[in-house]
Amino acid sequence: MPSVSLSPAPKLQFFGTDGNPLVGGKLYTYAAGTTTPLTTYFDSTGTAANTNPIILDTRGEANVWLDSSAYKFVLRTSSDTLIWTVDNITGVEALEAYILGLLAAPNGASLIGYTPTDSGGVTTVNARLQLLDGVSPTTTALDASAKASVNALRDASGVSGGTVGYVNPNIWARTITGAAETSFEWTIVGIVDNYAAAGENVALYGQGNKRSTGPTWGIVSEARDFTSVANPTAGLIGLEVGIFANGTDTALNRVAIDVSVGKGVAGGTINTTSNGLRIAPTNLDLTQGQLTNGITLQGNMVVGVQVSSSGIWGIQLSGTHTVGIDLGTATTSTSAIRIKEGANIAFDVGSLARLRHETTGQPGLVYSYNGVDKVLFSDAGNVILGSTISWTSAFSSTSATAGTNGAPPAQVTGYLTVNINGVDVKLPYYSV
C-alpha cells in the first residue's frame, strides 16, 4: 500500500460573516508583527507578485504563495470592514527552513533517531556522531575520559554465543591492490608530528585490557603467504620496526623494540612475566613451521647482544643441540670468549668443576673442584699443584748398575727444580 498524505489547499477561499464567499474581499499581507507590507506571489515560480491587498474573485478565492518569511494576514470586506487578523503565518518553505534550522542547531542531531544494525538499540544521530568527535555517548564507557578525533565504540558486552574464530572488528580497513600496482598502498597510517618537550606522544598504540579469563592481545601483526611458493624472491615481513635518525646516541635513548613489564593495577603485587620475547612455531606445534635462524644480527654493531640484567641465569640453553655455542666461523681479534676477572667457567651441571683466572696471590689460571683449588697455571709460566702428583705412566723396576742396560746413564744431563712444601729441590734427568 503506498504512503499517502493530506493535500494542501490549492487555493485559499474566504467567507464573510454571513457565511457566503467573500466576493471582492481584500487580503492584506504584512511582515509578521508589523504593518510593513510583505509581498506574496501568484504561482510557485515566485516571479509574479500579487497585489497588496489581494482582491478576491467571484468565489472569494485567490492564489497565495509565500516565501520563507513569516506573514501577518488581515482580511477585510470590499468596503474595508475588518473581518479578522492572523499573525505569524509561514508557508511550507518557511516551515522547511525552520526545521532545517532546528537540525542545524547545536542539538539538532539529537532530534533524529538512529537504530544501529549491530546492537539494534534505538539511539540518536547525535549519540553516534559523538563517537566521531571523541565524546563517549555513555557515562559508563571505559574511555569516557578520553578525547579523540575519532572515537569508535563497539559495545559487544551484551553479545552471547557466536562462532569461535569469527572476527567482529570495531574498525575494519582493507586495501586490495591490483597486479600492476607500483605505488605504496598502506591500509592504515599513523603519524604523529611531535613538537612537544614532554609527555608520551605515540603514532600507533594498542592496548588490550584483560578483565576476565579469556586470552588478550595488545597488538597482533601477521603476514600470510597464500602463494604456496617455496624460496620466494620478495619479502614477507610480519613486523618491521625502524629507527631513522642522525648522530650518536650516548644516552642510549633510541630503542627499536622496547619490551617493558609492570603491574596490572596500582598497588598490586610485582608482575612476573615468563617471556619478554618468545620465538616458536604457532601454538608450539612443531608440524606448523620451523625457523632457520631464531635471531639474526647483521651489520655493524658495537655489541651484538648485551645482557645487563640481574637474575639466576644471564643466558640459558636447554633442549637438544649439536653445538651449544658455535664460534667456529667467527673472526675475533682478541678473544672468542671473555669473562670477568675471577669469574668461573663450570664444566658440569652442579658447577663443581670450575676454571677461573685470579690476579691476587699467584696470578694465573686456577682449576678447582668442589670449591678446592687443584692446579694453578701461573701467568709467570709455573704450574702449582694443590695435592699429590699421581703418575699414570709405568716405570721400569729393572735393577742394574750405572751405564748398563735397564739403568740410568752414569752422566746426569741436568736437574729439574721442584718446589715441595715451600722448599726447592732438584731432580736429575738423563738423556735417552
What pLDDT digit, counting tens, does each position of 229-266 carry? 999 998 999 999 999 999 999 999 999 999 999 998 88
Claim to verify: residue 79 and residue 40 sit in the same structural domain: yes
Q: Is 110 exposed, middle or buried (0-12, 13-18, 19+ CB in 10 A)?
A: middle
Mean pLDDT of 154-182: 82
Task: Identify the domain boundary among 104, 130, 165.
Answer: 104
Q: Is there a domain that residue 115 lies in?
A: yes
Claim to verify: residue 124 and residue 55 sit in the same structural domain: no
Mean pLDDT of 144-166: 69
For cell 627499536, the residue is 256
Share of the chain above pLDDT 70, in %: 87
Q: Is there a domain that residue 238 lies in?
A: no
Q: Is there a domain that residue 16 lies in?
A: yes
Mean pLDDT of 6-29: 91
Identify the residue with better confidence: 269 or 117.
Answer: 269
pLDDT of residue 151: 67
pLDDT of residue 406: 61
118 pLDDT above the threshold of 60: no
- Distance, CA of 283 to CA of 367 (rounded, Å): 45
Q: Is there a domain that residue 51 lies in?
A: yes
pLDDT of residue 139: 45
- Distance, CA of 161 to CA of 54 (rounded, Å): 71
Claim to verify: residue 91 and residue 29 sit in the same structural domain: yes
- Distance, CA of 187 to CA of 174 (rounded, Å): 6
Claim to verify: residue 61 and residue 141 sit in the same structural domain: no
**Mean of all residue pLDDT scores within the chain:** 85
Q: Is there a domain that residue 88 lies in?
A: yes
Claim to verify: residue 110 and residue 77 sit in the same structural domain: no
58's CB contacts (< 8 A; 6+ apart) are 21, 23
Number of independent structural domains in the chain: 2
pLDDT of residue 142: 44
Claim to verify: residue 40 and residue 51 sit in the same structural domain: yes
Question: From the CB of residue 40, how many other CB atoms can be counted at a distance below 10 Å?
Answer: 23
What pLDDT digit, counting tens, does each position of 366-414 carry? 999 999 999 999 998 888 887 666 655 555 554 555 555 666 666 788 8
426 pLDDT above the threshold of 80: yes
Mean pLDDT of 168-176: 87
Query: 119 is in which domain, residue-wise?
Result: 106-153
Claim to verify: residue 134 and residue 144 sit in the same structural domain: yes
pLDDT of residue 217: 94
Q: Is there a domain that residue 118 lies in?
A: yes
- Distance, CA of 169 to CA of 154 (rounded, Å): 8
Identify the residue with better confidence: 126 or 150.
Answer: 126
pLDDT band at 64 (very low <50, low <70, confident <90, very high): very high
Q: Is there a domain that residue 32 lies in?
A: yes
Is the Cβ–Cβ distance between 211 and 203 less than 8 Å? no
pLDDT band at 140 (very low <50, low <70, confident <90, very high): low
Domain of 48, CATH number, reads: 2.170.14.10
Task: Identify the domain boundary among 134, 153, 172.
Answer: 153
Q: Is there a domain that residue 41 lies in?
A: yes
Claim to verify: residue 30 and residue 114 sit in the same structural domain: no
User: Mean pLDDT lowest for which of 55-59, 88-92, 119-123, 416-420?
Assistant: 119-123
For cell 624460496, the residue is 231
Residue 68's identity, in one-letter code, is: S
Mean pLDDT of 20-29: 96
Claim to verify: residue 19 and residue 70 sit in the same structural domain: yes
Claim to verify: residue 21 and residue 82 sit in the same structural domain: yes
What pLDDT digit, counting tens, does each position of 178-202 carry? 999 999 999 999 999 999 999 999 9
What pLDDT digit, counting tens, does each position of 201-224 carry? 999 999 998 989 989 999 999 999
pLDDT of residue 418: 74
- Distance, CA of 210 to CA of 3 (rounded, Å): 51
Claim to verify: residue 56 and residue 77 sit in the same structural domain: yes
pLDDT of residue 96: 75
For cell 605504496, the residue is 184
What pLDDT digit, counting tens, does each position of 65-89 carry? 998 888 999 999 999 999 999 999 9
134 pLDDT above the threshold of 60: no
pLDDT of residue 114: 78
Claim to verify: residue 41 and residue 81 sit in the same structural domain: yes
Is the Cβ–Cβ distance between 93 and 68 less than 8 Å? yes
